[in-house]
Amino acid sequence: MSKTYKIGVIRGDGIGPEIVNEAVKVLDAVSGKYGFSLEYTDIDMGGCSIDKYGVPLTEEAVEAAKASDAVLMGSIGGDAKTSPWYRLEPSKRPEAGLLGIRKELNLFANLRPSVLYDELKSACPLCALTADKGFDMMIVRELTGGLYFGERYTKNSHGMETAVDTLSYNEFEIRRAAHKAFDIALKRRKKVTLVDKANVLDSSRLWRKITESVAAGYPDVEYDTMLVDNAAMQIVKDPAQFDVLLTENMFGDILSDEAAMITGSIGMLPSASLNDTSFGLYEPSGGSAPDIAGKNIANPIATILSASMMLRFSLDQDEAADTVDAAVKQVLRDGYRTGDIYSEGCTKVKTDEMGDLICERVI
């Protein structure tokens, strides 16, 4: 009997529904080919949930996500200057839904691949020599600890305003993130680089100690460490040297945007947030792009690649994921582009046409 997976689908706001529809089309095509099936449950979150229920995330939505093997998401939010959602207090706004679901589902590991496609090299802002080598790295960022979640306060001390943010990690938090990074490396080129500031920070020294002990359990994975200031330079100088970069929350926040920038195209970048089971929430790195919503011109590839990550990391359907990734490469090789990645000599296509073209190359 063929295996059936339960997929929660958050279409969300803006371009969300358009780009998710294309990813679902591709998932249906590839699951048919590999003999498994996907059962979808729609979940409201963000602005559309505010419009229906007055809150960005309901308990029912959380329960539906928990009952799924994985969740595929588009994007949430609207134009902060014009949308009535942003006249609500912060805890009632669309983004609170995303923070809420990450917390409820304990999504502690954020995966952000950064890949330069041969066909899009001209969009890469790095020097031609570096762009020619290409790159394909994955940043594994710890998402629920560190500086963004530590105690913070501002006090007046002897007439001097003083602000305090606390950076704290325990070995459990580090170990589970490290295991994710090494497990992911096993599915890739088998190299992990821990990025830290161990020459200054105690928390970084604990990251080194614990990660080294985790590395000992993965003899097939090459392991090294790099200071974060050097890593910021190396990502620009020679990104091809990296496979998996493991790092804490704030360093990961900054480096993943740097790594995104050097690909030159937000519409191509998927992401995943995982917990300590195989469950994950998969979404494009970009937002809801209200400026182009409803026009059928958004690039659905980041969402389609997010669906591919879901196949690989939550459903263990690596062959199906490889097929989707190959179909995306082929469609670019064949010269099809949405407006955001268009260059002269290519064929400009709409959102739904891009989805169809990728489906044709999956089958």
Residues annotated catalytic, as ranges: 148, 197, 229, 253, 257
Q: Residue 197's closest CA among 256, 243, 247, 155?
A: 247
Q: Which of 8, 17, 56, 78 binds ligand NAD (CB under 6 A)?
A: 78
Q: Which of 194, 218, 283, 320 binds ligand NAD (CB under 6 A)?
A: 283
Task: Decide: is 328 part of the binding site for ligand NAD (CB under 6 A).
Answer: no
Instruction: Answer whether 5's CB lies under 8 Å from 39's CB.
Output: yes
**Nearest distance in Å: CB 286, ligand NAD:** 3
Smaller CB separation from ligand NAD, 222 or 258: 258
Task: Decide: is 298 part of the binding site for ligand NAD (CB under 6 A).
Answer: yes
Q: H/E element holding 120?
A: none
Q: Residue 253's closest CA among 148, 328, 359?
A: 148
Q: Which of 24, 57, 71, 98 binds ligand NAD (CB under 6 A)?
A: 98
Q: Which of 204, 299, 308, 317 binds ligand NAD (CB under 6 A)?
A: 299
DSSP 68: S
**Going by C-beta distance under 8 Å and a sequence separation of 6 or more, which residues neighbour residue 131?**
116, 121, 124
Task: Decide: is 267 part of the binding site for ligand NAD (CB under 6 A).
Answer: yes
Smaller CB separation from ligand NAD, 146 or 270: 270
Task: Decide: is 273 part of the binding site for ligand NAD (CB under 6 A).
Answer: no
Q: Which of 64, 292, 354, 358 binds ligand NAD (CB under 6 A)?
A: 292
Task: Decide: is 77 part of the binding site for ligand NAD (CB under 6 A).
Answer: yes
Q: Which of 76, 115, 262, 354 binds ligand NAD (CB under 6 A)?
A: 76
Angle between helices 318-333 and 351-362 (to 10 degrees): 120
Burial-class residue 187 by CB neighbours within 10 Å (0-12, 13-18, 19+).
middle
Task: Decide: is 259 part of the binding site for ligand NAD (CB under 6 A).
Answer: no
Stretch that binds ligand NAD, among 1-9, 219-227, 297-305, 318-326 (CB under 6 A): 297-305
Task: Decide: is 288 part of the binding site for ligand NAD (CB under 6 A).
Answer: yes
State how beta strands 136-142 and 244-247 pair.
Answer: parallel
35-60 burial by CB neighbour count: b if 16+ within 10 A, else e? Answer: ebebebeebbbbbbbbeeeebbbbee
Task: Decide: is 340 part of the binding site for ligand NAD (CB under 6 A).
Answer: yes
Q: Where are the alpha helices (DSSP H) in the chain?
A: 16-34, 47-53, 59-66, 94-104, 128-133, 171-186, 202-215, 228-237, 249-261, 301-313, 318-333, 351-362
Task: Decide: is 96 part of the binding site for ligand NAD (CB under 6 A).
Answer: no
181: helix, strand or coil: helix
Task: Decide: is 28 part of the binding site for ligand NAD (CB under 6 A).
Answer: no
Q: How many residues bind ligand NAD (CB under 6 A)?
A: 23
End-to-end CA distance of the chain: 21
Q: Which of 167, 232, 254, 266 binds ligand NAD (CB under 6 A)?
A: 266
Task: Decide: is 95 part of the binding site for ligand NAD (CB under 6 A).
Answer: yes
Which residues in this chain contact ligand NAD in the complex, by CB under 6 A?
A: 15, 19, 75-78, 80, 95, 98, 266-267, 283, 286-292, 298-299, 302, 340
